[in-house]
Structure 1
């Protein structure tokens, strides 16, 4: 298992599982060099830099581009000097996002990148992120964040009608901590005002940011276990047990 709570889940259901750590925690250094990342992306200028990551799949970007762009506008209208970047996973995603930005009457300048999501997280001061692996990357990069996610209205209706929405949290930072570390918004809660204001409140509470980054560092160390090698060892050990059991059966 890549995450510690997954091993606990499998154990509760009688399935042997071993937590081996997450390869991203090994890949991303404990101290990410923000200035080096900015130089690599040729990001010049002063002022807080916010990364907007509305997802890697086109369906995610289609649902989240408008509120994420509106969040940037909300921030820019209330605080001067903020800058924005938005890494897009594909040309189609870029087209969707830029169309939403163009429709905003008060759109701030947003530099759109081709891919480079991890570099954008390394370069930024904070991020607005779609729920998924990018939230873990933001945590490992030690970047404060606000998380948003939308599913289709039909899916949301079915989940709620059948009582299938039972989790307290859905973002990986909060799941890993077992408590609310970062603000998260789901479905109709996702709006430019909600996301933008939550990020401003988070960044302007310096004591909270300090505690948040300490918690992120603790989680990073927990996940940084040489996951690939440990996973290989666990697979070999399992294969050895299976081989031994087959051999015993054959002899019998």
Structure 2
């Protein structure tokens, strides 16, 4: 691996996050292994992903399909345990590319996208796991199915479209106490028998773990701030 890769900062920051996850799990009487860290590598180069892989981090998150396509297929042969989560809003016309590149798509949030993903999976012969994104704050500017529509939408995705929905995802309002939003999502997942809860980011993942998160999405605290545009 070239000497100019940011191995040391990323290794140190990964260790800090893993230690904080372990401590949060202990406080919540949970096993540290019950929480998966999704390292959000959006806008960071493939070299940063390689540095994290060298530290044993195998699960990554990307917002944009095009960026994911540019980084991850080339890494998979050397790192077969690598898993990629798409966590950003997904356009229906990118469904087929998303199905090709991702292992998990966390942003299923509307009927048209459910149909597009169903059709893309049939064409590609590949079934990434899906999470329904719930707009727990009912924020008009934010992606995610509205709370009032979420239960029916989850049922339709699974029963009408036969989609492999395994859990739920949310991003609480920025200025709100996240705990009620995490609790709401956990209750909804329990009603539907869904095991995966993707909730919590760099600033609030300890609270998410206390409310039952199985996956947390951490970017800045691992990779640093977003690189400046060229």
Could you state the TM-score of these two structures normalised by the residue count of structure 2? 0.27
Higher strand share: 2
Higher helix share: 1
- Higher CA-based Rg: 1
